Each structure stands twice: as C-alpha cells, then as structure tokens.
Structure 1
Amino acid sequence: QKRVKEFTEEFGADNIVILLGAAEGEAAGLAAETVTAGDPTFAGPLAGVQLGLRVYHICEPEVKDEVDSQVYEEQISMMEMVLDVDNIIEEMKSIRDQYCKF
C-alpha cells in the first residue's frame, strides 16, 4: 500500500493502472477497493485514502487482449482454467463502477 501511494503521489493517479492476479473475486475486490476507495480494514497506509486508481484483473478481456497471446498461454491460461473468471470480472467491474474516477 505504501508503494502504491508513493507512486500515485509521484506520477499522478491518471498515470497508474493496478493489475491484480488474485485467485478469487472477493480477494481481487478487496485489493481493488483498497487502491480506489481506501483500505477498508483501516490497517494500512491507504486507510481513508481514496486514490481512485484504475484497477483490472489479468483475466479480464481488456487486459488479456493486450498481452502477447503466447505469454498469456504460458503464464496465465493454466490458472485461468480453475478460476471463476466471471465472478472475478463481475467483482472488478463493480469496484470500478463504484469508486474509480476515470
């Protein structure tokens, strides 16, 4: 959290995109909420800090389409087969719709 906050201060929120790889929608959602609306646990450096960063999961079509297909196949596709990708996408979209400034 500290590094994300520092990078956002240094480069500006409009120049930062957070890419997640959590295995569950709920975990991805918690991480996404943290970098958009602030740490919901109020335990870290982003407690009460709303960065409003753009945040995506590696399995979302918007990201998947940007990654070299061979690299995606080698590094991610195996894991994607066991993930509930629809749930992850739904969770990520919900967070973006709710909190993102962009």
Structure 2
Amino acid sequence: MQSVRVLARRLVPRTSNASTSTARLSTKSGAREEELLARDPALSKYQSTKTTVQRIQLFGDFLVILVAAGAVYEIAYKVQQRNAAEAQDAKKNMESQITVEQR
C-alpha cells in the first residue's frame, strides 16, 4: 500500500512553487575569473581545431578496434592450436591403447 502512495505522489503534478526553490543561483564572475577565462593570443597557435580533434579521436578509435581485433584473433588462434594439440594427443593415446590391446 505504501508503494502505491509513493507512485501516486510521483505521478501527481506539483502545483507548489517547489521549482523556484531549486532554481539555479547565478553569480557574476569576478575580475580574476574573467581574466583567467579570457582568450590568450600567445596560446592561439596551440589550440586545436574541431576537425583535427575529431580526426585524432577517429584514429584513436580505429587503433582501439584494431588492437582488440588482434587480441581476439590471437586468442582464437591459440585456442585452435591447443584444441589441435589435444586432438593429436587423444589420437596418439587411442593408437597406443589399440596397440597395447593387440599384444
């Protein structure tokens, strides 16, 4: 019954002025903050452009996918080798059992 009350409270629209109490408080930045946020012409040659950043991110994503694919391939290859070795060992064991039984 209590869960129904909780649901009802969530579904009923609020008519009170609760939204005004949670409003964002805005304060003006001081002179020091404004100075720190201002563009510095000496650093302009080090700032990246949007397309360059996107290209670097794309290249990084490609490298991650490439490394992950290589790791998956290597794991699959090693599992295949292990399975082949186990099959060969099982075949040798069967052959040795057959020769022992024939004696």
Compute the TM-score of the two structures, normalised by the length of structure 2. 0.18
Higher helix share: 2
What TM-score does the superposition give when structure 1 sets the normalisation length? 0.18
Select the structure with the greater relative contact order (CA < 8 A; seq sep ≥ 6). 1
Higher strand content, 1 or 2 = 1
